[in-house]
Amino acid sequence: AQTVTQSQPEMSVQEAETVTLSCTYDTSESNYYLFWYKQPPSRQMILVIRQEAYKQQNATENRFSVNFQKAAKSFSLKISDSQLGDTAMYFCAFMKQGRGYALNFGKGTSLLVTP
């Protein structure tokens, strides 16, 4: 079974600063997908960024970027120019083709952006 580990239960960053959330995973698969989801207080899950394992280039979405290290099985999320609206729980998730493409989530990191 795949495990996803987020070692930072809580983090805090000042507005406009940069913060990096870490995620490691364990798998024997070669083909898989990795995701970062945001869950604000409304509890609606929002996709932040996605990375296909076969792509070497790190994914970027505006202020959000990842550092994908396949050999190290590491998938960290960098948030640049942090905004108050970034305050949320962030979940790292793993998906493989089996099990109908179900997601396996890490325990999450609670991010607080302060003024």
Partner 1 sequence: GAVVSQHPSWVICKSGTSVKIECRSLDFQATTMFWYRQFPKQSLMLMATSNEGSKATYEQGVEKDKFLINHASLTLSTLTVTSAHPEDSSFYICSARGDSARISYNEQFFGPGTRLTVL
In the complex with partner 1, which residue's Cβ is closer, 14 or 40? 40
The verdict on 56 binding partner 1 (CB under 8 A) reads: no
Burial-class residue 20 by CB neighbours within 10 Å (0-12, 13-18, 19+). middle
- Which of helix, strand or coil describes residue 57? coil
- Which of helix, strand or coil describes residue 35? strand
In the complex with partner 1, which residue's Cβ is closer, 11 or 45? 45
Burial-class residue 70 by CB neighbours within 10 Å (0-12, 13-18, 19+). middle
Binding mask 3-42 for partner 1 (x = CB under 8 A): ------------------------------x--------x
Burial-class residue 31 by CB neighbours within 10 Å (0-12, 13-18, 19+). exposed
Residues 11, 50, 58, 80: which binds partner 1 (CB under 8 A)?
50
The verdict on 94 binding partner 1 (CB under 8 A) reads: no
Smallest gap from residue 4 Cβ to partner 1 (A): 9
User: Contact residues for partner 1 (CB under 8 A)?
Assistant: 33, 42-45, 47, 50, 91, 95, 99-108
